[in-house]
Structures are given as C-alpha cells and as structure tokens.
Chains A and B, each alone.
Chain A
Amino acid sequence: KQEVTQIPAALSVPEGENLVLNCSFTDSAIYNLQWFRQDPGKGLTSLLLIQSSQREQTSGRLNASLDKSSGRSTLYIAASQPGDSATYLCAGGEYNFNKFYFGSGTKLNVKP
C-alpha cells in the first residue's frame, strides 16, 4: 500500500525566507502529483499539479518538482509571506487519477 511521508511535520520561519517542503512515497510508481494548501477548518486549494509527462511546475513564488525514480517531490516557496501560513499536503495519484494518496501535511507558520 502506498504511504506518503511529508517532512517536516511543522515549520516556523520568519517572513521573507525561502523554504522547501518534502514529500516521499514508498512506491515510486506515481503517475501524477499534486500539492495542496489547506487552511484551518477548510477544504483543499490546489497549488500545483505535475502530470505524468512533467517533472516540474511553477506558479508565482511556488515551484514543485517530482523525481519519479526516487518517489520524491519538493515544494519550494520563495520569499515566504505570513499569508502562506497553512498546512501543505502532497498527494500522489495512480494512473489517470484513479486514486490519490495523501501525505499527513506540513504545517507552515510564517512569522511577520
């Protein structure tokens, strides 16, 4: 069974820092990978989607990469802001998004 680990579980940084969130899968046969943001008590906001033929995606200050050979993904956040404070979840999908396996999340706190 696919298991997803996110490191660190929690992170507190001062505003302006660049940071990296990590995600790894026990089964490296990930077809698609998606990073989400979840604010307390809220649903999921999709941040970046890396599809099967891709290795990297960028949106604004966010960059996500996927190394399929190792089953690892990283989310890079540049110039962090207090508004970035949330829990970040990674999820790996089977072929054609049939199933998503979620990590337990990294809780990020960006201090003003």
Chain B
Amino acid sequence: GAVVSQHPSWVICKSGTSVKIECRSLDFQATTMFWYRQFPKQSLMLMATSNEGSKATYEQGVEKDKFLINHASLTLSTLTVTSAHPEDSSFYICSARAASGIAEQFFGPGTRLTVL
C-alpha cells in the first residue's frame, strides 16, 4: 500500500515550452501533496505544499507563476513548469500524505526534466 506514482519519469523539452508533471496516489487519498526539486549532487528542496481544493503554498524563493501547482482531486496533483529554461533542469519528486490515519509522507519515483 501507500504507492505514489509520477508521470512522466523523464522528459526533454526545448527552452520556452511548458511541461506538466503528474503525481498520483494510487491506493490512498492524499489531502496534501508536496513537490521537491533536487539538483545534481544536492539534496531535496521543498518547493511547495498543495492541499486538495486550495491554492498551493510556495517556499521562499520559488516562483509561483513559473511552477504552477494544481491539486484538483484527492489522488492527483500536477506541477507545470512554464516557459522552461535550462536552469529548470532538475529532478522533481512529489510526496503525498494520506487524508486520515497515517500522517507519513510517501514519495514518488521522481521525474527527470532536461531543458535544452
């Protein structure tokens, strides 16, 4: 149980295009999902916290207009990188927390974004 998936697992795009990454909780309902970014040889940095049905809360220094987060249902959150640039190339990982009961975060396998 407690499986989180991400799609796509990797994506290559041209500079200036937008990319959408999906995060799904497969066997539980997630009221809260978290988006992290990991640069090469660095640790995970929390980008934003999204609660189902409300606006995401962004960490300091993260541009909310560039990284659009939608959490429209209890099993799906999306991160859209708008007008991507090479410096946005990174490993993006989501995590999800169950609606009730277990408060632990469960992590997805990550999405590798490369912007040319």
Seen from chain A, the residues whose Cβ lies within 8 Å of a Cβ on chain B are 4, 32, 34, 36, 41-44, 46, 49, 89, 91, 93, 96-105
11 residue pairs A–B, Cβ–Cβ below 8 Å: A42-B110, A44-B107, A93-B105, A100-B44, A100-B46, A100-B105, A102-B43, A102-B44, A104-B42, A104-B43, A105-B43
- A96–B32 Cα distance when bound, in Å, is 11
Shortest Cβ gap from B64 to chain A (Å): 17
Interface of B (DSSP majority class): strand
B97 lies within 8 A of chain A by Cβ? yes
Q: Assess A102 versus B45: contact at CB under 8 Å? Given A41-B112, A43-B93, A97-B97.
A: yes
Instruction: Name which of B95, B107, B108 has the most chain A CB atoms within 10 A of its CB.
Output: B107
- Closest A residue to B45 by beta carbon equals A102
Q: What residue in chain B is nearest A105 (Cβ atoms)?
A: B43
Name the A residues within 8 Å of B93 (CB-CB). Answer: 43-44
Cβ of A98 and Cβ of B49 under 8 Å apart? Answer: yes
Question: How far, in whole Å, are A98 and B91 apart by their CA atoms in the complex?
Answer: 21
Q: Let me know if B43 and A100 touch, CB within 8 A.
A: no
Q: Interface residue tally of chain B, by bracket?
A: 20 to 34
Q: Mark B41-65, 1 if CB is under 8 A from A, else 0.
A: 0111110010000000000000000
Please give the residue numbers on chain B whose beta carbons come within 8 Å of chain A beta carbons, in ascending order.
6, 32, 34, 36, 42-46, 49, 91, 93, 95, 97, 103-110, 112
Contacts of B108 on A, CB cut-off 8 Å? 43
Please, how many angstroms separate the alpha-carbon atoms of A20 and B112 in the complex?
31
Known: A44-B44, A97-B105, A100-B44. 7 other contacts (CB 8 A): A32-B104, A36-B107, A49-B104, A96-B103, A100-B95, A101-B46, A102-B43
Q: A36 CB to closest chain B CB, in angstroms? A: 8
**Which one, A46, A103, A105, contacts B107 given CB within 8 A?**
A46
Name the distance in Å between A32's Cβ and chain B's nearest Cβ. 8
Q: Are A99 and B97 also in contact (CB < 8 A) when A41-B112, A43-B107, A104-B43 are?
A: no
Q: How far is the CB of A50 from chain B (nearest CB, A)?
A: 11
Q: Are B49 and A97 interface neighbours, CB within 8 A?
A: no
